[in-house]
């Protein structure tokens, strides 16, 4: 594109170039961080005002009229809808064909292979860190050598397991799930859902942080301020973590859950900023360990639980004292119809109690 100042423009070429770059930067950021317009709206409007003082300079260039732009947009939209419909139909056919030939054992081996890759990466990172003296620098030398030898054995064993699983799984990107979805398709979907969930949570946290700051300023006394301060600190940590996530692509996502693959591993987040960090819930061995832990917990609770006490016996009916004899006979007759063979006992305060036989 070629540009030139409009008649009466007061903006230099350097100022125009800077403003144009700023507009493009903010528009690009808005795709991943929609709240950028809330934070930099005034800056964006000022850049637009500067940008608007220049115009296109190609020979014979003519701006399209609103009607022409609308027609172009409608044609583009129609083409997009037709292309999307055709591509969607084709994807459905391909997924249906893959679903018919779904191999559950190969799918399980693929997940096991992903898990073993994580185990191998964890052990290799620890071994390299200990060998370089960066991890556990105060570890005694004898213990260091023992740990290095143990890690070497584990790495060798895991490498053999990885090799075996790799032969069974083949090309992991061709292993479809029971619905015929390939890993790449699931990662595309995971990115869309993760991004939408992140935007929703960030907007909710921003509102909550603002509200809690106002509540904290108005609160009186330590007992009232302490829980507000803790809640504000927790929300702020989570908000800062989510806002700092750089733009991700589908290749950055896990194909089995709505989590970036870089968050998976056997290191857990100790703070509440990123509780999602840890093993993938679809990994077979980890899934088995979680199931066994849950069963142990449930069985422990069941053993400690005491059965509820049986309900205290209650009479079928209670007839107060000092009633006319006709009324007493009427009430007893009614109870006898529903509970033949019932017995009458003397209750508290000279009342008659009718009990099951």
239-242: which pairs have CB atoms within 8 A and are 24 or more residues apart? 239/202, 239/205, 239/206, 239/209, 240/273, 241/273, 241/274, 242/198, 242/201, 242/202, 242/205
- Is 8 within a domain? yes
- Is 252 within a domain? yes
- Do 206 and 261 lie in a common domain? yes
Range of the domain at 225: 183-304
- Is 75 within a domain? no
3-state secondary structure at position 179: coil
**pLDDT higher than threshold 80 for residue 302:** no
Q: What is the pLDDT of residues 254-267, one digit of tens each?
A: 999 999 999 998 87
- Do 244 and 285 lie in a common domain? yes
- Do 143 and 246 lie in a common domain? no
- Do 190 and 259 lie in a common domain? yes
- Do 212 and 290 lie in a common domain? yes
User: How high is the pLDDT of residue 268?
Assistant: 73
- Do 198 and 170 lie in a common domain? no
pTM of the model: 0.76
- Is 66 within a domain? no
Q: What is the pLDDT of residues 209-221, one digit of tens each?
A: 999 999 999 988 8
Average predicted confidence (pLDDT) for the chain: 92
- Do 123 and 161 lie in a common domain? yes
User: How high is the pLDDT of residue 337?
Assistant: 79
pLDDT interval class at 286 (50, 70, 90): very high
pLDDT interval class at 339 (50, 70, 90): confident
- Do 204 and 293 lie in a common domain? yes
- Is 42 within a domain? yes
Residue ending a domain, among 278, 304, 330, is 304
- Do 169 and 187 lie in a common domain? no
**pLDDT higher than threshold 90 for residue 311:** no
Residue ending a domain, among 124, 157, 174, is 174
Q: What is the pLDDT of residues 269-281, one digit of tens each?
A: 667 788 888 999 9
**pLDDT higher than threshold 90 for residue 285:** yes
User: How high is the pLDDT of residue 238?
Assistant: 95
User: Which string of b and e fits 327-357 if b means at least 16 CB within 10 Å?
Assistant: eeeebeeebeeeeeebeeeebeeeebbbeee
**Across residues 236-259, what is the average pLDDT?**
96
**pLDDT higher than threshold 80 for residue 307:** no
**pLDDT higher than threshold 90 for residue 315:** no
3-state secondary structure at position 316: coil
- Do 276 and 335 lie in a common domain? no
Strands in the chain per DSSP E: 3-5, 54-56, 317-319, 343-346, 352-355
User: How high is the pLDDT of residue 12?
Assistant: 95
Q: What is the pLDDT of residues 184-228, one digit of tens each?
A: 999 999 999 999 999 999 999 999 999 999 999 998 888 889 999
CA dist list (Å): 23 to 7, 46, 50, 52, 68: 22, 10, 10, 11, 24
- Do 245 and 298 lie in a common domain? yes
User: How high is the pLDDT of residue 309?
Assistant: 78
- Is 270 within a domain? yes
- Do 41 and 132 lie in a common domain? no
More confident residue, 265 or 348: 265
- Total domain count for the chain? 4
């Amino acid at each position: 594109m070629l540009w030139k100042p409009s008649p009466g423009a007061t903006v230099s070429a350097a100022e125009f170039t800077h403003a144009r770059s700023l507009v493009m930067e903010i528009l690009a950021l808005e795709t991943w961080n929609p709240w950028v317009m809330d934070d930099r709206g005034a800056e964006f409007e000022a850049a637009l005002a500067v940008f608007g003082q220049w115009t296109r300079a190609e020979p014979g260039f003519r701006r399209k009229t609103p009607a022409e732009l609308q027609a172009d947009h409608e044609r583009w939209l129609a083409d997009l809808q037709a292309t999307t419909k055709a591509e969607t139909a084709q994807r459905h056919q391909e997924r249906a064909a893959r679903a018919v030939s779904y191999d559950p054992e190969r799918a399980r081996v693929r997940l096991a292979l992903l898990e073993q890759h994580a185990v191998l990466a964890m052990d290799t990172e620890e071994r390299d860190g200990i060998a370089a003296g960066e991890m556990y620098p105060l570890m005694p030398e004898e213990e260091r050598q023992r740990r290095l030898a143990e890690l070497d054995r584990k790495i060798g064993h895991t490498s053999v397991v990885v090799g075996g699983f790799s032969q069974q799984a083949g090309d992991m990107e061709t292993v479809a799930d029971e619905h015929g979805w390939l890993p790449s398709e699931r990662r595309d979907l995971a990115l869309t859902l993760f991004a939408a969930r992140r935007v929703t949570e960030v907007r909710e946290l921003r509102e909550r942080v603002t509200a809690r700051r106002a509540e904290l300023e108005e609160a009186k006394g330590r007992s009232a301020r302490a829980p507000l301060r803790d809640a504000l600190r927790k929300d702020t940590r989570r908000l800062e973590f989510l806002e700092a996530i750089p733009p991700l692509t589908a290749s950055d996502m896990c194909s089995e859950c709505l989590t970036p693959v870089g968050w998976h591993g056997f290191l857990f987040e100790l703070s509440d900023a990123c509780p999602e960090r840890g093993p993938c819930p679809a990994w077979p061995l980890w899934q088995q360990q979680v199931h066994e832990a849950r069963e142990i917990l449930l069985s422990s609770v069941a053993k400690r639980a005491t059965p509820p006490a049986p309900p205290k016996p209650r009479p079928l009916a209670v007839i107060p004292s000092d009633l006319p004899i006709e009324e007493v006979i009427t009430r007893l007759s009614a109870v006898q119809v529903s509970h033949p063979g019932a017995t009458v006992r003397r209750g508290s305060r000279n009342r008659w109690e009718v009990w099951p036989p």
